[in-house]
Amino acid sequence: MRRQAGFTLLELLVVIVIIGLLAGYVAPRYFSQVGRSEVQVARSQIDSLEKALDQFRLDVRRYPSPEEGLEALVAKPASAANWNGPYLKKAVPADPWGRPYMYRAPGSKPGHEFEVVSFGRDGKAGGSGEDADIGIY
Is the pLDDT reported for residue 34 higher than 70? Answer: no
Amino acid symbol at 128: S
124 pLDDT band (50/70/90 cuts)?
A: confident
- Do 63 and 113 contact (CB within 8 A), yes or no? yes
Rounded Cα distance, 58 and 7, in Å: 71
pLDDT in tens, 45-97: 999 999 999 999 999 899 999 999 899 999 988 888 888 879 998 899 998 88
Q: Pick the residue with more confidence: 112 or 128?
A: 112
- Do 114 and 107 contact (CB within 8 A), yes or no? yes
Is the pLDDT reported for residue 98 higher than 80? Answer: yes
* 3-class DSSP state of 45: helix
**For the CA atoms of 113, 118, 120, 123, what is the dihedral angle to 10 degrees?**
110
Q: Determine the pLDDT at residue 17.
A: 93
- Do 23 and 15 contact (CB within 8 A), yes or no? no
